[in-house]
Amino acid sequence: MTISEELQSYKNLSVGDRLPEIKVLVDQNMVDAYADASGDTNPLHIDPEFAKTTFFGRTIAHGLLTLAFVSQVLSEWNWQGWAYGGELSVAFLGPVYPGDEVSVSGEIDLIEQREEGVFARCNLACYCGERAVVKGTATCKVG
Amino acid sequence: MNDTVTYKSLILGDDFLDPPPSFEVTNEVVDKYIRATNDATQELGEPNSRGQRIAPPMLAAVYVIDALRTKVGPPGGVHAKQQFKFHRPACVGETLYTSAKIVKLYQKKERNYVEMTTETLNQDDDLVTTGLITRIWGKE
């Protein structure tokens, strides 16, 4: 049986605390560089002529490029908890197009005492302007 | 280049890749990834307790995608949802093996969805990353 207890705060962390926010301007050069680094050369990301024939009408950034920005926010906030046991669950709600500025933000929505330690769950959101492109949660050990 | 795989040919329970492809984590790969993602995480400049250079946690996801390329759908497919557990970061010098299994196939709003579990181990069978990917399959 798993025993857990919700906490409103733990050490210097409280429910409602915001994570450090970042903003990243994504352009086609960045998408091309990510395709080269990752080996994911799906033409939807790097071939404008092909991309015109798709649902999106133009190239879009890799979903995992946006998640790399999410990971940077979590790394800055709690490197140890994120890199060693962190869990991420997200939905891709819309594309990031070259030229978009992606803002990544997060907020602690649950602190939980479990048998194996104290964990914080964060609500995460990535926006391009007013448009949500990724939403989800991340859970990290904090103590 | 592999031939594309149609949605109709996918079977529930199939190992997506057997044997799992391998990928070596090199300094060059880590450098490229950090440059491409503008990652300035301070801890990435510090070695781990074994003196190894560590990679950004999300780098393991790159290997998942690399593995999935061995059985790709028609162009135009995209990720709909993604879950990852990062057991630990990958390190330079490791060879990673990612296996994937189809666990759910369904259609919604005239789109074909494929759910796959993934598991990334190193050469000593140490667990690095596990995941669940929901992918919209490209239309044939």
User: Of A91, A88, A92, A90, nearest to A121 (Cα)?
Assistant: A88
Question: pLDDT tens across A110-131, in order?
Answer: 999 999 999 999 999 999 999 9
pLDDT of residue A1: 61
What rounded mean pLDDT belongs to chain B?
Answer: 87
Catalytic entry in A17, A22, A63, A94: A63
What rounded mean pLDDT belongs to chain A?
Answer: 95
Question: pLDDT tens across A10-36, in order?
Answer: 999 999 999 999 999 999 999 999 999
What is the count of structural domains for chain B?
1
Select the CATH number that applies to the domain covering A4-26+61-141 from these four: 3.40.50.300, 3.10.129.10, 1.10.287.3510, 3.40.630.30: 3.10.129.10
B70 pLDDT more than 70? no
Residue A2 Cα to chain centre, angstroms: 28
Confidence of residue A4 (pLDDT cuts 50, 70, 90): confident
The CA-based angle A60-A137-B94, given to 5 degrees, is 75
Task: Pick the residue from chain B with its C-alpha nearest to A42.
Answer: B75
Let me know if A17 is a catalytic residue. no
Task: Tell me if B53 is assigned to some domain.
Answer: yes
Question: How many angstroms separate the CA atoms of A58 and A46, rounded?
Answer: 9
B103 pLDDT more than 90? yes
What is the nearest CA distance from B138 to chain A, expressed in angstroms? Answer: 10
Give residue B15's domain range: 7-136
Residues of B in contact with A38 (CB under 8 A): 33, 36, 62, 65-66
Whether residue A39 lies within 8 A of chain B, CB to CB, comes out as: yes
Q: Which two tokens stand for residue A141?
A: 């050990």
**Number of H-type helices and E-type strands within chain B:** 2, 5
Task: Pick the residue from chain A with its C-alpha nearest to B69.
Answer: A40
B43, burial (CB in 10 Å: exposed 0-12, middle 13-18, buried 19+): middle
Catalytic entry in A45, A62, A81, A136: A45
Task: Tell me if B2 is assigned to some domain.
Answer: no
Task: Tell me if B111 is assigned to some domain.
Answer: yes
Question: How many angstroms separate the CA atoms of A49 and A52, rounded?
Answer: 5
Contacts of B10 (CB under 8 A, 6+ apart): B102, B105, B114, B137
Let me know if A40 is a catalytic residue. yes
Task: Tell me if B1 is assigned to some domain.
Answer: no
Confidence of residue A57 (pLDDT cuts 50, 70, 90): very high
pLDDT of residue B26: 94
Query: What is the CATH number for B131?
Result: 3.10.129.10
DSSP character for B133? Answer: E
Task: Pick the residue from chain B with its C-alpha nearest to A73.
Answer: B41
Q: What is the dihedral of CA B5, B68, B22, B14, to 10 degrees?
A: -70
